[in-house]
Amino acid sequence: MFIQRHWWAVLYSIFLAAFTVYLALDTFVITQVYTAIPETESRGESTAEADAEQGSEAISTYTELVVSESSYSDGNIQITITEYREYDTYIYVADIVLSSPEYLQTAFAQNAYGHNVTEKTSEIAERAGAILAINGDYYGVQEEGYVLRNGVLYRSTAAYGQVDLVIYNDGSFAIINEADVTAEELLADGAQQILSFGPALIEDGKVVVSEDDEVGKAKTSNPRTAIGIIDDLHYVFVVSDGRTDESAGLSLSQLAEFMNELGVLTAYNLDGGGSSTMYFNGEVINNPTTSGRSIKERSVSDIVYIGY
């Protein structure tokens, strides 16, 4: 009798529940590939494969190759990994000096631009032939915000109030607000990458976040990922652990202060939490975790990496 009297309410409740489940699946689960990256544009060949194809000329590029557990140098790329212990947290810093900005690149999960297209940072890095990689901005769960990767514009819809990091073709960094400039204008000005997460941590050598700033509803202390520039073609990738007994994690303010002490002129916060991962010489060198109960990588939509 109750159902007969209130059938419309029952149907509405069922519809509402189904719609809510669909929204959740569409936001976090359902995969939609918008653009597959042609294999010719992929950086998926390994150094050895590239050398075999390009012959002695390619091999000569690596005659100065020196690799250790915490460093890499080949004449074009110099990377030094240092582990710090600050704020009751392990922090991993990759100090990077390049001979050309072309070695600072990005890559998509599954070699495709889309919605909820994901892979582990290490998997994307291996396919891209990355020497060093960190997770990117996880553009794939957003419907707005600029997406420019390796000089190709994939999304030009501005997000209200969104502050981005722009990496230009000369390797320089700039912080912009999407309300102030279009993605097309940035591309015309020589932008190669636009990372859309945030916030900016340091601008012109000054910390621009306070102790009250945070990303959405994130916890105060978290695993973090950030990128910064010290000088021309001199960069740092920074990843901190967090959410474990060994590492409390960092606030945005702590992350900014730490990078400021490294001499960073411009620094930008990337996706953190369970996404925070640093990959170097074929290994994940930090301790990625979502809950703190297990150490494992979260699948993400994109990476920033150093490689050929």
pLDDT band at 214 (very low <50, low <70, confident <90, very high): confident
Identify the pLDDT of residue 199: 97
Separation of alpha carbons 295 and 15, rounded Å: 38
CA distances from 162 to 57, 151, 179, 191 (A): 44, 20, 8, 17
Of 196, 222, 209, 234, the C-alpha closest to 94 is 234
| Amino acid 57: pLDDT | 44
Dihedral over alpha carbons 37, 41, 47, 53 (to 10 degrees): 120
Tell me the pLDDT band of 51, cut-offs 50, 70 and 90.
very low
**DSSP result, 172-189:** -EEEEETTTS-HHHHHHT
Sequence spans of domains, the chain: 31-307
Q: How many CA atoms lie within 13 A of 113 on its CB side?
A: 17
**Nearest one of 176, 177, 186, 122 to 153, comparing CA atoms:** 186
Greater pLDDT, 53 or 30: 30
Q: 164: burial class by Cβ within 10 Å (0-12, 13-18, 19+)?
A: buried
State both tokens at 58.
């390619």
Name residue 105's amino acid: Q
pLDDT of residue 138: 96
Q: How far apart are CA 70 and CA 81, in angstroms?
A: 5
List, for residues 228-262, the tens digit of each pLDDT value. Answer: 999 999 999 999 999 999 999 999 999 999 999 99
pLDDT in tens, 61-83: 556 899 999 999 999 999 999 99
pLDDT of 98 higher than 70: yes
Calpha distance 241→237 (Å, rounded): 14
Go through the chain and tell me how many residues it has: 308
Phi and psi at 54, nearest 5°, equal -90, -10
Pair 104, 33: CB distance under 8 Å: no
Phi, psi of 25 (to 5 degrees): -65, -40
* C-alpha dist (Å) from residue 142 to 161, 169, 215: 14, 25, 15
Q: Which of 256, 269, 166 lies closest to 209, judged by CA? A: 256
Q: Are 144 and 157 in contact (CB under 8 A)?
A: yes
Distances (CA, A) of 38 to 108, 112, 126, 156, 171: 12, 9, 17, 21, 25
pLDDT tens-digit series, residues 118-176: 999 999 999 999 999 999 999 998 899 999 999 999 999 999 999 999 999 999 999 99
- Give, as one character, the DSSP assignment of residue 7: H
| pLDDT at residue 37 is higher than 80 | no
Q: Which whole number is the average pLDDT over 32-43?
A: 65
As a whole number, mean pLDDT of residues 38-61 equals 45
pTM: 0.84
* pLDDT exceeds cutoff 90 at 307: yes
- Spatial distance between the Cα atoms of 95 and 229, rounded to a whole number of angstroms: 10
Q: Are 306 and 130 in contact (CB under 8 A)?
A: yes
- CA-nearest of 192, 195, 98, 190 to 150 is 192
Query: pLDDT confidence of 271, banded at 50, 70, 90?
Result: very high
Residues in contact with 252: Cβ distance below 8 Å, sequence separation at least 6, in sequence order: 199, 201, 209, 213, 214, 215, 224, 269
